[in-house]
Amino acid sequence: MTTPAHQPTHHQSSLELTRRQPQPSGGTFAPARKARNVLRRVPVWTWRLLMHSVKASENSRFNVDPITGVEYFHDIDFVGDGIRGHRLDVITPSRPGGAVAPGAAAAGDRVPRGLPVYVYFHGGGWTSGDKASLTKYCASQAEGGMVVVNVNYRKAPRFQMAHVLADANAALAWVRQHIAGYGGDGSRIVLGGDSAGGQIAALLTAASFRPELARHHGLTPAVPASDFKGLVQHCSVVDFSVFFEKGFVLSLNFIRMLLPALRSGGRSRGLGGARLEALRKGAGFLSPIEWLDARFPPVFVTTSERDFFYAANLNFIARLREHSVPVDSLIYDWESSNTEHTWQQDFRYPESQEVYRRLHAFVRKVT
Distances (CA, A) of 245 to 3, 132, 248: 29, 33, 6
pLDDT value at 11 more than 80 = no
Predicted local distance difference test score (pLDDT) of residue 278? 92
User: pLDDT class for 6, splitting at 50, 70, 90?
Assistant: very low
Q: How far apart are CA 210 and CA 213, in angstroms?
A: 6
Domain formed by 17-101+112-366, architecture: 3-Layer(aba) Sandwich (3.40)
> d(Cα 340, Cα 346) in Å, to the nearest integer?
11
The domain limits of the chain are 17-101+112-366
238-268 pLDDT tens trace: 999 999 999 898 999 999 999 977 655 444 4
Is residue 339 helix, strand or coil?
coil
Distance CA 137, CA 356 (A): 9
Residue 91 pLDDT: 98
Q: Give 162: exposed, middle or buried? Use CB within 10 Å, 0-12, 13-18, 19+.
A: middle
Q: What is the mean pLDDT of residues 120-139?
A: 96
CA distance 42 to 234: 21
For 159-206, how does the pLDDT look when each residue is reduced to its tens digit (9 = 90+)? 999 999 999 999 999 999 999 999 999 999 999 999 999 999 999 999
Residue 261: φ, ψ to 5°: -65, -15
In degrees and rounded to multiples of 5, residue 355 shows phi and psi of: -55, -45
Whether the per-residue pLDDT at 291 is higher than 50: the answer is: yes
Q: How far is CA 291 from CA 161, 216, 284, 296, 324, in A?
A: 16, 13, 9, 9, 14
pLDDT-derived band of residue 3, with 50, 70 and 90 as boundaries?
very low
Is pTM, for the whole model, over 0.75?
yes
SS3 17: strand
CB 268 within 8 A of CB 227: no
Read off φ and ψ for residue 180, nearest 5 degrees: -60, -35
